Amino acid sequence: METQDETELCFPELFNTSCRRPKHPHSDAVLIYIVMPLTSLVTVILNLLVIISISHFKQLHTPTNLLLLSLACSDFFVGVLFCFHILISDGCWVLGAIMCTLYTILEFTTTSASVGTMVLISVDRYMAICDPLRYSTKINERRVTICICLCWVCSFLYNSVLIHDNLRQLDRYISCFGECVIVVNSFAGAADIFFTFFAPVTVIIVLYMRVFMVAVSQARAMRSHITSVTHSCTVSAKKSELKAARTLGVVIIMFLTCLCPYFISSLLGENSFFNATSVPLQSWLFYLNSCLNPVIYAFCYSWYRKSIKLIVTLKIFESDSCEARVL
């Protein structure tokens, strides 16, 4: 019987202080050891292709694509961090308290940066569709770059404050070796859900509802050859801007679909963001969103498909390849 108990421990040599490895149902085991690693690998590869494409080809250096680059970077890191989440889901964290805290703050930061980038994308599309006359003067690469940097810095500082109790004493809430737990008190948790989910989602929905209404009006105006369609839009937006709005609208819808279950679950009473004894489906959906974004680009953006072809065939290593026409 003692041998059986030892085999259930994360660290058998630490019999009195080791966590016990939970017994996973078959469906959870498949999710942990097959689906999660594959999702992580695909997420990293696809988002790396987006990062290389936008960074390398000068023709893609536009304000909107810089926002997509920021989103791809956050999704790339989510894919990398997903590997560590698998260790938590397995029930035995073997990397120690320091790596647990580091993983947590990086995961929180990338998530917040991703949400912030979604808000910036909504603002960008709102300006492009609803105020096309002043879009080129108000929205440029320099301003967008500053906004992206501020988004990432603020995300890091915000989450550092959120888990400051855990940072003071790294193993404060760890009850046994093999556990990675970060606890946020109920007040901070409620505030976090508001600031990182409900408030940004409200802004995104309001802006995109306005974009949708104006886009429909402009589409009707194009069919009837009218250039002025509403009192708020004196010039019709370009077809490319409308297409970008539709594509990014799909990205935002998938974003909300994948993240809503996770945040609703947190709102319903969980005071810990990680639970090593279960593998809830909402956590997988949360990470899956980062894999879906580049898939959407592949279906909707011809420049992404052309860029992938040039990258896979190694033509990006040719001289002046950054000047290639991909649009």
CB neighbours of 34 closer than 8 A, spacing ≥ 6? none
Q: What is the pLDDT of residue 151?
A: 96
The pTM (predicted TM-score) of the whole model is: 0.82
Q: Is 272 helix (H, G, I), strand (E, B) or coil?
A: strand
Q: Is the pLDDT of residue 274 over 80?
A: no
3-state secondary structure string, 35-99? HHHHHHHHHHHHHHHHHHHHHHCHHHCCHHHHHHHHHHHHHHHHHHHHHHHHHHHHCCCCCHHHH
Q: What is the pLDDT of residue 224?
A: 65
Q: Which among 254, 257, 238, 249 has a CA at the least distance from the CA of 209? A: 249
Q: Are 6 and 19 in contact (CB under 8 A)?
A: no
Q: Is the pLDDT of residue 87 over 90?
A: no
Q: Is the pLDDT of residue 235 over 80?
A: no
Token pair, residue 196, equals 């990182």
What is the residue type of 106?
Answer: L
Domains and CATH numbers, the chain: 25-323 (1.20.1070.10)
Q: Is the pLDDT of residue 239 over 70?
A: no
Summarize pLDDT for 133-169 with one digit per residue, the tens.
Answer: 888 888 999 999 999 999 999 999 999 888 887 777 7
User: What CA–CA distance (Å, rounded) separates 63 from 69?
Assistant: 10
Q: Is the pLDDT of residue 6 over 60?
A: no
* Between residues 293 and 66, the one the model is more confident about: 66
Q: Are 56 and 316 in contact (CB under 8 A)?
A: yes
Q: What is the pLDDT of residue 132?
A: 83
